[in-house]
Amino acid sequence: MSETLISARGLTKRYGDFTAVDAIDFDVAKGESFGLLGPNGAGKSTTMRIIAATSQRTSGTITILGRDPEEHGPQIRAHLGVVPQQDNLDTELTVSENLFIYGRYFGLGKKFIRNKIYELLEFAQLEEKRDVKVDTLSGGMKRRLTIARALVSEPDILMLDEPTTGLDPQARHILWDRLFRLKEIGVTLVITTHFMDEAEQLCDRLVVMDKGKIMAEGSPLELIKTHSTKEVLEVRFGSDRNKEIAPSLRAICSRMEELPDRILMYVEDGEALLEEILNRKLHPTTSLVRRSSLEDVFLRLTGRTLIE
Amino acid sequence: MNAGIDVARVRSIGALYVAESRISAMLKWKGIIAIVAIGNPLFYLIAIGIGVGVLVDENSGTSGTGGVEYITFIAPALLASAAITAALDEAMFPVIEGFKWRKLFYAMNATPITGPQIALGVFIAALMRVVFTVICYWAVLIAFGVISVAQSWDVIPVTIFAAGAFAAIIMAITAKVKNDDYFMTILGRLIVMPMFLFSGTFFPLNTMPTFLQPIGWISPLWHATELGRHFSYGYSLSAMMLAIHFAFLLALLIGGFALANRTFTTRLTR
């Protein structure tokens, strides 16, 4: 068992009557890539801010790098790299100035930071943008710069809050590639996301959160195994007929989810089920057999989809 | 763990790192800052000194201004007002920007830097801009022969102190602001502008109707102006009034910091 970097027990955060984080327990081990998956408002970002030693918990306990953030905020923050949901770069300054200034906040020497900037610009694929004002960068570049900035102090834990939200598919893939490299060299990652594909790509282990609570925990594969079936058959009969046909489908499949636009049928063998449906002359307008994903896990656990 | 990280150093001089970043951002505007710092006194001296000043001096002599030329009378007031405007610029916009527009303070606070250090850093940077503005203004006044070096050098630290006190309280108030649209309109048009007009800038406060005079009493600009006159051309102030002016500004400075420290911390750690 490797060293535990973060450990939370009964962690709770309330804002007045509203409970944003409701008595959650989790541990993050060194070198692990840990994910918090859930829809908007599940309490992921609040949990992140508590781990980042900026927001104070209401009750419960948490230690980060062996310390209590209530008493040792600056000491903990000195060894974290934080990538917030919204880029908060100084857009008036250049790319390298942003990195330089941020390094100073950790008390790092000028020489160390100057050398580090070369390395980070290469990592973020921003070498040519070195002396360009941040204002003029694309969304994907800004995101990479924010990640590079978080790495300036060589943090023990890199925290990413919704790292690819708002990026186009190409920019997302570039970012995933960069994050995957960090994972390979053993950087401990804590990631929140409401994209199941992102969680599957990047996380070794994750917790599914909803309404401030942890609904399930495990590796993406374990979660799928435990809470879903091997395959999913998606059928559409047109939004009017879906409701009408659902009862006859129920007769041949014990686990189904009816969504407004389609019906999801959970089975071990999707093709066989589809054949059975066609034999019964139920002719769906479209059909698709796919592997189960975390989206299905979430749907199973909460009865709702991740992105609504 | 990165051995280069120095938490103890950040704990002691973190505010300077914040000031360093604020000054880097300010230097992107250095041209405009310099033009304002030098252009402002030039325009005022020409318009008021040559225009209004001649009119006042010819019609009423120096009886209304305590025995000095009108331009000498208003010079320290304009100096104080320029210093306070610079303080306002650098204490208000960076704070709104830091908490709301670009959330830079949250980025700073994700490091070992604390809320009170951010407040102090913003203050130090604002003070640098004030120092620059005051020295430019003063140099123009000297160049135009409005005041003399020997008699007026001490107006520089006094005006910087007054503008600093103003910066502290503005920073504290701005940190509380959630809706910046209304705030800037109200602050600019209903507080700063009347303060400029009713603080004894263009005429002695005691020539105003008594019921309007309290505007001056609570205005940092009036206290700064009275001190500026005293230290630039020997306008006479009793020891008690001197003490009151200093005490009022000191209270703003201390109160401003106490409030800013608390507000910065709660807003960042919510």
Question: What was the ipTM of the complex prediction?
Answer: 0.89
Model confidence pLDDT, tens digit, residues B16-43: 999 999 999 999 999 999 999 888 888 8
Centre a 10 Å sphere on the Cβ of residue A188 and count the other Cβ atoms it contains. 23
Cβ contact, residue pair B28, A79, below 8 Å: no
Cβ contact, residue pair A104, B9, below 8 Å: no
Q: How far is B172 from chain A (nearest CA, A)?
A: 20
Band (pLDDT 50/70/90 cuts) for residue B181 is confident
Query: What does the pLDDT read at residue B1?
Result: 67
Query: What does the pLDDT read at residue A244?
Result: 83
Taking CA atoms, B142 is separated from A141, B52, B146, B147, in Å, by: 51, 20, 6, 6
Query: What does the pLDDT read at residue A281?
Result: 85
Cβ contact, residue pair B114, A82, below 8 Å: no
Element (H, E) at B99: none
Model confidence pLDDT, tens digit, residues B69-125: 888 898 999 999 999 999 999 999 999 999 999 999 999 999 999 999 999 999 999
Cβ–Cβ contact B201 with A under 8 A: no
Residue for token pair 């920019």: A171
Which stretches of chain A score pLDDT less than 50?
A: none
Query: Which residues of chain A from 72 to 101 reach within 8 Å of chain B, CB to CB?
Result: 73-75, 77-80, 82, 84, 86, 88-93, 97, 101
Cβ contact, residue pair B111, A153, below 8 Å: yes
Cβ contact, residue pair B107, A74, below 8 Å: no
Cβ–Cβ contact A115 with B under 8 A: no
Question: Distance between CA atoms of B237 and A198, rounded to whole angstroms?
Answer: 71
The closest of A167, A168, A174 to A85, measured between CA atoms, is A167
Query: What does the pLDDT read at residue B113?
Result: 97
Model confidence pLDDT, tens digit, residues A12-69: 999 999 999 999 999 999 999 999 998 888 999 999 999 999 999 999 999 999 999 9
Residue from the list B4, B21, B270 with its beta carbon closest to the beta carbon of A101: B21
Q: What is the mean pLDDT of residues B215-223?
A: 90
Domain segments of chain B: what residues?
Answer: 7-269
Between helices B70-96 and B53-60, what is the axis angle to 10°? 140
Cβ–Cβ contact A286 with B under 8 A: no
Both structure tokens of A88: 């908060």
- In the sheet that holds A33-37, the strands lie side by side as A80-83, A157-161, A188-193, A33-37, A205-210, A213-218
Domains and CATH numbers, chain A: 1-79+161-172+184-219 (3.40.50.300), 89-155 (no CATH), 229-291 (3.30.70)
Cβ contact, residue pair A78, B111, below 8 Å: yes
Both structure tokens of B158: 């006094």
Cβ–Cβ contact B10 with A under 8 A: yes
Chain B residues near residue A82 by CB distance under 8 angstroms: 110
The closest of B207, B195, B192 to B73, measured between CA atoms, is B207
Closest B-chain CA to A78: B112
Question: Distance between CA atoms of A96 and A276, rounded to whole angstroms?
Answer: 62
pTM: 0.91
Q: How far is A214 from chain B (nearest CA, A)?
A: 22
Cβ contact, residue pair A75, B7, below 8 Å: yes
Chain A residues near residue B111 by CB distance under 8 angstroms: 77-78, 102, 105-106, 153
Q: How far is B54 from chain A (nearest CA, A)?
A: 45
Both structure tokens of B178: 């959630």
Query: What does the pLDDT read at residue A306?
Result: 63
Cβ contact, residue pair A88, B102, below 8 Å: yes
What percentage of chain B carries pLDDT values higher than 70? 100
